[in-house]
Amino acid sequence: MRNALKQIRQALGYNQQEIADKLSIEVRKLRSYEYETKNYPTDFLKALVNVLNVNLNWFFTDKGKMFIEAENEEEKEPLYLSKREISKLKELLKD
């Protein structure tokens, strides 16, 4: 089974503690996301996008690029998901 979170961490060259610190979560929570959880909290998904520039389309479907590329920091826009979009993402995870 594909482990997108681990792939992201390795692509960025972080160990689990370093990426947990970047995302402002406990390392045990990160480990649970890497190895167990497939239903991620909205705040965690937002942090992946806003902190690490992760492309959620890639994260959930393995399509497209792993990271969103911005020309400069001013061009980065935060991702806001509606409850409907979050529900759809969660449905994708159940597969």
Give me the pLDDT at residue 1, please. Answer: 45
pLDDT tens-place values along the chain, 95 residues long? 468 999 999 999 999 999 999 999 999 999 999 988 778 999 999 999 999 999 999 998 889 999 998 655 555 566 677 788 788 878 877 75
Where are the chain's structural domains?
Answer: 4-94
Give me the pLDDT at residue 72, please. Answer: 59
Helix (H, G, I), strand (E, B) or coil at 41: coil
Give me the pLDDT at residue 21, please. Answer: 95
Q: Which residue, among 52, 45, 53, 51, has the nearest Cα to 93 in the 3D structure? A: 45
Give me the pLDDT at residue 78, please. Answer: 65
Q: What is the CATH code for 4-94?
A: 1.10.260
